[in-house]
Chain A
Amino acid sequence: MKKWEPKITAFLCNWCSYAGADLAGTSRFEYPTNIRIIRLPCSGKVDPLFIVKAFENGSDGVLVSGCHPGDCHYTSGNYHARRKFAMFRKLIEFYGIDIKRIQFSWVSAAEGGKWAEVATQVTEDIRKLGPYEPFKKEAVVQGCSVHPMNNEKGILN
């Protein structure tokens, strides 16, 4: 049996954070392999349900990252994201999700180094918190003895 590794879903906006993650690559900044990046046009696109679904489908942690305030490619999308998150934080907590497993960050297209730091930090934080199962779908839990995301019965079926 392989050692448990945290699985983290990251929702990144196309214009800043995704490009920042690209820059981390171009600059060869190393970070753990646990993060799965989902590219979105804007952090404002993040629906709280995406976060819930990420946990349902096997994530141990979720990261949302967008442009710095004032730098949104769509002028104000990241403000919408921030406001939405502030509002849904309570709801997500009420729903029972451990709020510590959701992180938010601003990473610009020029901040490759910062992305590597954020990715490393989030992985470490979630690793400390351990596996997170209360919301996983049964199928996922059953098959998740090692890597739920890497399982035939896992989330991507």
Chain B
Amino acid sequence: MARIGVFVCWCGSNIAETVDSEGVGEYAAKLPGVAVSMDYKYTCSDPGQKMIIEAIREHKLTGVVVASCSPRMHETTFRRTVAGVGLNPYLLEMANIREHCSWVHHDKEAGTEKAKILVRMMVEKVKHNHKLYPIKVPVTNRALVIGGGIAGIQAALDIAKEGHEVIIVEKQPSVGGHMSQLDETFPTLDCSQCILTPRMVEIIQDKNIKLYAYSEVESVSGFIGNFKVKIRRKSRYLKESECTGCSDCEEPCPVELKNEFNEGLDTRKAIYRPFTQAVPNSFLIEKTKEPAPCKVVCPIGQNVQGYVALMSKGKFKEALKVVRETNPFPSVCGRVCTHVCETACNRSRIDEPISIASLKRVLGDFEAANPELITYAKPEETKSEKVAVVGAGPAGLVCAYDLAKAGYKVKVFESTPVAGGMLYLGIPEYRLTRDVIAREVKAIQDMGVEIELNSPVDDAQELLKKGYKAVFLGIGCQKGKDLGIEGEDAEGSTDAVAFLKKVNLGETTKVDGNVIVVGGGNSAIDAARSALRLGAKQVKIVYRRSKKEMPADPREVEDAEKEGVSIEFLSNPTKVITENGRITEVECLRMELGEPDGSGRRRPVPVKGSEFIIKSDLLIRAVSQAMEQDFDKSENIKLSRWKTVDVDPLTLATSVDGIFAGGDGVNGPETVVRAMEDGYIAAESIKRFLTSRDLKEGRNFPAHKVTEEPAERLFEGVEKASRVKIPEISIEDRNNFKEVASVLSDEDAIKEAKRCLNCGICSECGECGKACEKDLIDHNMEDEIVEEDVGAIVVATGYDLMDPSVYEEYGYKKYPDVLTSLEFERMVSASGPTNGKLIRPSDGQTPKNVVFVQCVGSRDEDKGYPYCSGICCMYTAKHTMLFKHKVPDGKAFVFYVDVRASGNNY
């Protein structure tokens, strides 16, 4: 049975004026469960509390109701009172008859009635109350401070001083925040760095403080007292704790970027330290997640940005080494690569792509001119296993080169009398001179690769029986396809592959009369231009679509036309007319473009009755190539439905164990670099095969697709500069096989390389790694996620500068002499880009009149700034003083809306 005590307070006259406290007390005494009811003038006073204590003792109360002021006022007081005599404090309730009754009503009768009800409510409530006991929850005795600016630093130091552990997370590579950028502080004009840097150092020295610089909080979970915090430690690509900040790595880095610390007024390297007093005093490398697009799209993953960046500094030897790392054919690729890298180049968003291929050619020629500078990679070890490669084309030679590099004994079997495959047999000399091929093939031989010419292989499996542990088939597509029209097997009709092969081997040295070439690819152009050089009277290309759909390199098409090759677009041969078994004329039909086909190009449709005749002494068919199946007498190697070798696309393994294939023989007629890619893929598979490792594990099908959008800042402030012109010999001088395009001068090459935007930020050229004596650089380092337990979190994330370029009227970014406050601050700072000299960026002169515009963006909701920072007036007052110190005879004008800076009445 409940035994409730009710104590009604008068609160002097505060309650008693409107509520008859005595009457309420009497009323309460009669309520069921109420053991005792009293009223008193000031219940919260000592005698009042004593009254309650005695009543609890005397009446053995099980609950107490105090009818007085708001529980928000005295609940704690009375709880303590009842707890003092052993009553659970949660068995006390307060009826608020002051704030909610006497003070808001004037009618004493109604007020008293309401007070009675409020008391009755509480009496009923307290009957339902349970004893409650506080629980103890362990609290993690550590704090997290987010942000390492001066506020965060001070917070961390203060907490640490109290003896608690502190974790401080700063997203920038150094603590210090914006204060480290300031020259002097307002109003005493103390040196900002002098105040700040001792505190920054304290952060490192204090044993209670753990600093995560260049890190960001990923997530916070848990509750007050027990938070779990996930922190991403962004990779510096070098070991932070061991870096001594010697800065040896900085100078050799070829990549220059806008220096954020100096607000973009000067540059920094891709490996950098934000400022000399940085804490931690460690360098870092800035890099995008994905390499630059030029590298991503390159089938052989050439580190394009790497060698271009090095070339921009004139470091050709180092650049060549970067190329050579993944390419044994720098000179060949510099001349004939289809350079998908240039198509992907972000520079074309500003003007034109970097002329990457011609830069690579410079390196190739540099290599030829300075053979003593180059030390080819020698095999690290020698292995006993022998590997056979069939075909000395780009796929086969790259495969052989890569295997030889790994120490395997490789023998290449080549059916023709020359090495180089289609490089030699398919590409005419005026595009790729024979000495270039010979030189680069020789470098491969120098690695230990044996090449046996005039040695056709008719049964690849036989090689396995002869002791070769693995075989790579790089057999190419040696057969020209037929047109499928009447008379095409007549005398005077040939295909481009056969024609070019004869020309390139010196078997055909002269061409007479009218030549027709059918097709629109690079082979067609090569055949046409070769025929013209060999004395043909007239060369005509017949192509069934229009110029836009032509698969040949547009530069090649343009050159062919310049040299005198005429092209019949939208035409298709239908019949070869012969006389005595010899070709005399070709009948063609006009075409028009219909619906797009599977390749996305519009399908040519014949126009009825549009037949026309072209005189012809030689017909060259250049309409695709096919593989010749003469390497597999036993016919055990499975072919695809396109009659090419069927392989696993990831490993290039054929249906026969130990035999791998790649290049044109698998892909059909493709580019040189694509064949080279297969050479590398197959070499990796063969290495795994020979060491009994899984062929597929950890390998991905190379997508060569760019997924990361370039950062805006790459394009900021870049001035247009046109792409370098590749020098070519005159049209008159092209009646021979002299090389048409010549190499860029070193100066042009450096100028061109400087156009590179450095999309990947760090170019991974490796120069810093060579310079670091402690060998701390690790390009494969990954972000690390650490988890920390903390009890409390201080957020001190600071501010971002408003970008004033949203106000076009101020001309910021349009006129070089319009600066932001922080840019001005950096300029007057002794550690700034001008060493403290105040200059006008446009002409380097000292400005005599400076206008300070305040309140830019203040309370402008349209631009998304509804507030006034309340600081700029103070800040500008300081700037005017700094200006007068630097330029005593100068004049400062301040324009403002109003002065609102608060603080110590400054």
A97 beta carbon closer than 8 Å to chain B: no
Residues of chain A in range 135-157 having any CB-CB distance to chain B below 8 Å = 147, 149-150, 156-157
23 contacts between A and B (CB under 8 A): A14-B72, A18-B72, A21-B100, A22-B72, A22-B73, A22-B99, A25-B100, A25-B104, A26-B103, A30-B104, A30-B106, A33-B101, A33-B105, A33-B107, A33-B110, A33-B111, A36-B117, A37-B96, A37-B100, A38-B121, A150-B116, A156-B120, A156-B123
Extra A-B contacts (8), CB below 8 Å, given A33-B114, A36-B121: A14-B72, A21-B100, A22-B70, A22-B72, A25-B70, A33-B105, A147-B113, A156-B120
Asked if A24 is at the interface (CB within 8 A of a chain B CB), the reply is: yes
Interchain CA distance A26-B106 in the complex, whole Å? 14
Shortest C-beta distance, B19 to chain A (Å), equals 11
Are A39 and B104 in contact, with the CB atoms below 8 A? no
| A22: chain B residues within 8 A (beta carbon) | 70, 72-73, 96, 99-100
Report the minimal beta-carbon distance from B119 to chain A, rounded to whole angstroms. 10
Query: For B105, what are the chain A residues with a Cβ–Cβ distance below 8 Å?
Result: 30-31, 33
Whether A116 sits at the interface, judged by CB under 8 Å, is yes
**Interface flag for A118 (CB, 8 Å):** no
1/0 contact trace for A1-37 toward B, CB 8 Å?
Answer: 0000000000000100011011111101111010011
Kindly list chain B residues whose C-beta atoms are within 8 Å of the C-beta of A26: 99, 103
Within 8 A of A (CB), among B81-107: 96, 98-107
Chain B residues, Cβ within 8 Å of A37: 96, 100
- Considering only CB atoms, which chain A residue lies closest to B94 in the complex? A39
Q: Across the interface, which residues of B come within 8 angstroms of A23, CB to CB?
A: 99
Q: Is the pair A150, B113 in contact by a Cβ cutoff of 8 Å?
A: yes
User: Looking across the interface, which residue of chain B has its beta carbon closest to that of A157?
Assistant: B32
* B99 lies within 8 A of A24 (CB): yes
Closest to A15 in B: B72
Determine the distance from Cα of A19 to Cα of B71 in the docked complex, in whole angstroms.
10
- For residue A18, which residues in chain B have a CB less than 8 angstroms away from its CB? 70, 72
User: Is B124 among interface residues, defined by CB-CB distance under 8 A?
Assistant: yes
Q: Are B117 and A116 in contact (CB under 8 A)?
A: no
Q: Report which of B71, B99, B113, B117 forms a contact with A25, defined as CB distance below 8 A.
A: B99
Beta-carbon contacts of B800-839 to A below 8 Å, as 1s and 0s? 0000000000000000000000000000000000000000
Residue of A nearest to B113 (CB): A150
B118 contacts chain A at the CB level, 8 A cutoff: yes
By beta carbon, the residue of chain B nearest A147 is: B113
Q: Tell me if A31 and B104 are in contact (CB < 8 A).
A: yes
Highest count of chain A CB atoms <10 Å: which of B72, B98, B100: B100
Q: Give the Cβ gap from B12 to chain A, nearest Cβ, in Å.
A: 15
Main secondary structure of the interface of A (DSSP, over half): mixed
Chain A neighbourhood of B120, CB < 8 A = 156
Cβ-closest chain B residue relative to A19 = B72
Q: Are B99 and A21 in contact (CB under 8 A)?
A: yes
Q: Determine the distance from Cα of A26 to Cα of B96 in the docked complex, in whole angstroms.
A: 12
CB distance from B70 to the nearest CB of A (A): 5
Complex CA–CA separation, A19 to B72 (angstroms): 8
Q: For the complex, what is the distance from the CA of A155 to the CA of B300, rounded to whole Å? A: 86
A14 cross-chain contacts in B, Cβ below 8 A: 72
Q: A24-B104, A30-B105, A31-B104 are in contact. Are A39 and B71 (CB under 8 A)?
A: yes
Interchain CB contact (< 8 A) of A156 among B99, B103, B104, B121: B121
What separation, in Å, do the CA atoms of A29 and B103 have in the docked complex?
8
From residue 33 to 78 of chain A, which have CB atoms closer than 8 A to chain B?
33, 36-39
> A149 to B101, alpha carbons, bound, how many Å?
16
Question: Contact mask B48-89 → A, CB, 8 Å, 1/0?
Answer: 000000000000000000000011110000000000000000
Contact of B104 among A29, A150, A157 (CB under 8 A): A29
| Inter-chain contacts of A29 with B (CB < 8 A) | 104
Type the 1/0 row for B703-745, where 1 means its CB is closer than 8 Å to any CB of A: 0000000000000000000000000000000000000000000
Distance (Å) between the CB of B250 and the closest chain A CB? 47
Q: Which A residue sits closest to B106, measured CB to CB?
A: A30
Judging by beta carbons under 8 Å apart, are B98 and A25 in contact? yes
A24 to B70, CA, bound (A): 12
User: A2 → chain B, closest Cβ, in Å?
Assistant: 10
- The listed residue with most B CB atoms (<10 A of its CB), out of A14, A22, A31, is A22
Q: How far is the CA of A38 from the CA of B118 in the complex (A)?
A: 10
Residue in chain B with minimal CB distance to A149 = B117
Chain A positions 79-106 with a Cβ under 8 Å from a chain B Cβ: none
Residues of chain B contacted by A24 (CB below 8 angstroms): 99, 104
Q: How far is the CB of A5 from chain B (nearest CB, A)?
A: 9
Chain A residues positioned under 8 Å from B107 (CB to CB): 33
Q: Report how far A24 CA is from B98 CA in the complex, Å.
A: 11
- A36 CA / B111 CA spacing, docked (Å): 12
Kindly list chain A residues whose C-beta atoms are within 8 Å of the C-beta of B99: 21-26
CA distance A156 to B101 in the complex (A): 19
Bound complex: CA A37 to CA B113 (Å): 15
From residue 116 to 133 of chain B, which have CB atoms closer than 8 A to chain A? 116-118, 120-121, 123-124
A21 to B117 alpha-carbon distance, docked (Å) = 18
| Interfacial chain B residues near A31, Cβ < 8 Å | 104-105
Per the bound structure, the CA–CA distance linking A33 and B168 in Å amounts to 55
Rounded to whole angstroms, the CA-CA distance of A11 and B265 in the bound complex is 61
From residue A53, how far is it (CB to closest CB) to chain B in Å? 13
Shortest Cβ distance from residue B69 to the other chain A in the assembled complex, whole angstroms? 9
Query: What is the minimal beta-carbon distance from B555 to any residue of chain A, in angstroms?
Result: 63
B770 → chain A closest CB, angstroms: 54
| A156→B124 contact, CB < 8 A | yes
Which chain A residues border B113 with CB–CB below 8 Å?
Answer: 33, 147, 150
Q: Which residues of B contact A36 (CB under 8 A)?
A: 117-118, 121
**In the complex, how many angstroms separate the beta carbon of A48 from the nearest chain B beta carbon?**
20
Residues of B within 8 A of A38 (CB): 121
Q: Which residues of A contact B32 (CB under 8 A)?
A: 157
How far is it, in angstroms, between the C-alpha of A19 and the C-alpha of B111 when the chains are bound?
20
List, in ascending order, chain B residues with CB within 8 A of A28's CB.
103-104
Please tell me if the beta carbons of A150 and B117 are within 8 angstroms of each other in the complex: yes
Residues on B with C-beta less than 8 A from A157 are 32
Instruction: Specify which of A25, A31, A38 lies most central, judged by the most chain B CB atoms within 10 Å of its CB.
Output: A25
Q: Once the chains are docked, how many angstroms separate the CA of A150 from the CA of B120?
A: 9
Within 8 A of A (CB), among B2-41: 32
Kindly provide the distance from the CB of A70 to the nearest chain B CB, expressed in whole angstroms: 16
What are the residues of chain B within 8 A of A147 when measuring CB–CB? Answer: 113
Q: Which residue of chain A has its CB nearest to the CB of B99?
A: A25
In whole angstroms, how far apart are the Cα atoms of A157 and B31 in the complex?
9
Report the Cα distance A13→B316, complex, angstroms.
75
Contact A116 B104 (CB under 8 A): yes
Task: Name the residue of chain A whose CB is nearest to the CB of B14.
Answer: A25
Compute how far the CA of A29 lies from the CA of B105 in the bound complex, rounded to whole angstroms: 8
Shortest 8 CB-CB distances between A and B: which pairs?
A: A25-B99, A25-B103, A22-B99, A22-B70, A33-B114, A33-B110, A156-B124, A33-B105
Neighbouring A residues of B118 by C-beta, 8 Å: 36
Nearest residue, chain A, Cβ from B105? A33
A130 → chain B closest CB, angstroms: 20
Chain A: minimal CB distance from B121 (Å): 6
Cα–Cα, bound, A22→B96 (Å): 9
For B104, list chain A residues within 8 Å (CB): 24-25, 28-31, 116
CA distance A149 to B493 in the complex (A): 114
Complex Cα–Cα for A54 and B308 (A): 80
Q: Which residue of A lies closest to B123 (CB)?
A: A156
Kindly report which residue of chain A lies nearest to residue B112, judged by CB atoms. Answer: A33
Please report the C-alpha to C-alpha distance between residue A21 and residue B124 in the assembled complex, in whole angstroms. Answer: 22
Cβ distance A135 to chain B, nearest Cβ, rounded Å: 20
Q: How far is the CA of A147 from the CA of B116 in the complex (A)?
A: 13
A138 to B105, CA, bound (A): 32
| Bound CA–CA A37/B96 (angstroms) | 9
Tell me the minimal C-beta distance from A99 to chain B in angstroms.
26
